[in-house]
Structure 1
C-alpha cells in the first residue's frame, strides 16, 4: 500500500490547507459564537434602553402633574383667596378692587410653569363677578363630566381628569381640587381647576424615541393618551383590553403610586423583531466578514504561490541555458526573500563564470589600455606643472623689474601674488596649521589693501594656542575674500575686516567680521538654504565648498553660522574640534 506523503503536494496546495485548518475554520467558529453572544447582549441592551425610555416618559409626565399639584397646594392653603371668594360684596366696584388686589398675583403662577396653561376658580358666591378666571357653579357646571367625575374624591386630594380643550375634543388634562381647607360660616363652595398645556402629553410622549406604541392608562385601564394613530383616544373612552397587540409583543410598564395618579401607568408595546433589528445587521456583517476571510485570503494565497512558482521556473529556465554556455542574467530582480537571494546568487555565479572566461581572452587588451591611460595621466600632470612654473617665472621677472625701477610697493604686491599662486598650486595636503592659513590670508589682504588703499583695513587676532591647530586647507580664506569683494568693495566709506581665531577648551573658534554692505534678507535665506542642496552647487561656490569639506572632515562635530544684515555687515562663525599639530 502506497503511503501518501505531504511533501508530494505542491507549495500552493500546502499553503491552502494550512490556511483552511489554521485560519478559516477557527475564524468561522469564532464568528458563530460571537453572533450568539452579540444577539443576547444586544437584546438585553435594547430592553434596558427601552425601559429607560419608558421611565423617562413616565417621569416627565409625573413632573408636569407635580407642577400643577404644587400650584394647587399653594392656592389651596391661601387664606386671602378664601376671603376673596367667601366675602359678600355690597357692590361690583368693591369686588373689582378686591379682585385686582389679589387675583392678579395668582394668575401669574401659571407663567412660572411651562406645563400649566391656565388657572380657573369656580364658586357659588352670587356677589362676585364671574369673569377673569372666576366662573359660577351653576347647573351647567354641575352636569359637566369633570364635575361629576371628581365629585367624590376632589375634597380629599386633587383629581386628574381629561377635559375639553380648545380643539373641542377631550385632549387636555385638568387638575380639579375642592377648596375646603378653611371652614367658613357662609359655606360657599369653591373649586380650583388647573388646566395643563393642550400639547403637553403629545410633547412628552414624542420627545423620547421609542420603537413602538405608547399608552397612558388610568386606574380603570382606559386609554387617556396613546401614540397609536389607529386609536382616536380624544373622542371617547377606549379600553386598553380592546387594543389588538402583535403576537411577538414585548411590553414595558411604569406604574404610579400617588393619590392623584393612583394605579395610572404608562404602557409601551414593541415587537420582538425590533429588538433584533440591529442584530440582523450584525449577522449580515459576520456573514460578509466570513466570506471576505475565505475569498480574499484564498486569492492572495493563489497570487503568492503563483509568484513563487513563476520565479522558480524562471531560475530553472536560465540554469538550462547555462548548460549551453549562455550566461544570460535574470533581469529586474529586486526581491529580498529566499527566491530573490537565490536569483541574485545565480546572477553572481553567471557573471563570475562569464568574467573568468572573458579574462582569459581580454586580459592583454585591458593591460595595454591601462598602460595607455597611465601614460596619458602622467602627460597631463606634467603639463599642469609646466603652466604654473611659466606663470611664476613671469611674475618673478615683473617683480625684479619693479625693484630695479624702485617700485617697491608694486614689487611687494607681485611677490604676494606669486606666494598665493605657489601655495595654491603646490599645496597637496588636506590639512594645514592656522599659521599657514593666516599666511595666505595676509598675502591676499595685502593685495586688497594695495587696491583700495585706506578704504579697506584689517585686523587679525590669533590666540598663540590656536596657531598650531590643524584645520582643512583653505577653509577660511574664501570668507575673507567674500568680505573684501562682496562686503567692503561696494560701499563708499571705509571698511574693516576683523579676523579672530581662539581656542575655547577643546574647540577652535574662528570669526570673520566685516562692516560691508551685507545681504538682503531674501539673499541670506537663499544662501543658508543652498547649504543643504548638495547636488546643485550653483552660486556661492566658495561658501558651499568650505561647508561640504568641513562636513566631510568633521561630520556633525562642527558649527557653521552666518549672520548678515543689509547695511550693517556680515559675520561668519566656525567652531571646529581642536587638533594640535605635532611634528
Structure 2
C-alpha cells in the first residue's frame, strides 16, 4: 500500500510540472485514443467471435437436420422389418418344404393374396429381400435362398456382430436387381422369432440410396455435408453419389475443417461431418471500410480539434491572469480589464476583480448560506418524491389484488360454465388462499378461519399430489374463537408438503390437530414424509426458539421463521416450539401457547 501511495505521489508531482497544453494532450491520449483503440479491438474481436459462434451453430443445426433425415429413413425400414418379423404367415412360408416349384408358386400366390403380407411390407420405396436356408424355395421376387449370399460382406457382418440386426453400407456384388447397382445401404435382421424353426432366415431391407442423397441436396444446406462410416462417404450433398462407383474415402484434410457429430446405428458408428463456412476477413473489412474510417475520424480527429479549442480557452486567459499577478501593484490589486466567458476561469477573474476588504469573509458567508439553502431544497424535494412514491405504491397495491381476484373469479365462472368443476374448485381454493396473502388489514384471525385456510391449501396440494397425499384435520369446537397471527398454521402445513411429502414417492399423511388443555392451546402439524437428519433437526429447533426480526433479513427460506417471529410478538414471547423428526418416518411440529397470552 505504501508503495502505491508513493508511486501516485510521484505521478502527481510529475504531472504538476507539465503545462496545461501537455496535460490536455495526455488527457486526450489516455481518455480518448487508448480507450477507443481498446474498445474497437474488443468490438472487432467480439464480431469475429460472434461470427465463429454463428458458424458453429449453423453447422450444428445442419448436422442435426442431416441426422434426422437418416433417422427417418432408417426408422421407416425398421418399422417394416418389425412387421415382417412379427408376421407368422411369412415365417411359415419360409419354413415350409415344397415338393415342386408349382407347390412353391401356389403357396406364394396364397401368401400374396393375404392382406397381412401387404401391411407388413408397407408402401415405402425401400427394397425388401427375405433369405431362407431352404433349398425347396425358388429364387425370385422378394424371396431367395440364403446359401448364395453367405459369403457377402453384409451377411458376414451380421454373423460377426452377434446381434439380431445391423446397419451396413457395402458394395453389392451379387447383382440381385441390376448389374449397375453397386452401392447399398441396408438394414439386415435375423428372422429368428421362433427359435425352433428348421431353417435360418434373414431379412435385408435396402434403403433408397438415391432418395436419401436427393433429400440432402434438396435441403439446400449452406455447407457441405458428409455422412461417413469409418472413412467411407456413405451420403453427401456434394453431388458425387454415383451408385456405380465404390464409396469414396473421406479426405483427412477436409475432415479437419468440419464439425463432426457421431451417431451409432445398430452396431455401425456413423459420423456426420459438416464443413465450416469460411470467413472472408478481407471482404468483411473492405465492405465496412468507409464506416470504419468515419468512426476513426469521429472518435479521434474531432476530439483532437475540440481539444485544441479547450487548450486555447484555458491557456490564453490563464496567461492574462498570470500577467496581471506579476505586475507591481504598489499595495493595490489591479483588476483584469477584459473578462470573456462565463466558466470557472472567468468567474475566477470576476472574483479577483471583486476582492477588497473582508472579501474572503464575504465569499465564505455567501457560500455557506447557498449550501444550506441547496441542502434544504434537496431535502424538501426528496421528501416530496418519497411521498408521491408512497401514494403511488398504495394505489398500486389496491389495484393489483382487485384485478387478480376479478380475473380468478372470471376463470372460475368460465370453468363452471364449461362443466370443468375440478378446475373451478382449484381456482376457488387458490382465491381463498391468495386473498389472505394480500389482504393485510389485520394480522390476526380466528383459529376457525385459519383452519379453513389450511384446508383450502391442502385441497390444492391434493390436486397436485393425487393419491400420494392424504390428510386429516381435527379441531375442538371450543378452540375456534381463539385468535392467532394469520397464515401461521398454514406456513407449518406448507413446510410439511414441500419438505416432507414432495420428495417421497409413496403415499403420505398430514395430520393437523388443534386442542387445548387446562392452561395451554396446542397446535400440531404432523407428516409421514421423508423426515430430516438429526443435525438439521437440532439446527431448525434452535432457529425456531431464537427467531427474531434480524433472521428475516437473511437470504433463503424464512417462512417458518416468519411464523415463529409473529407468534412470539403476538404472545409476548410466551409461545414454545418443539419439533421431532426421523428419517423415513416423518416430522411433527408442536406449538404451545398459554391461554392467558391470547385471551
The TM-score, its normalising length taken from structure 2, stands at: 0.39
Rg (Cα) greater in structure: 1
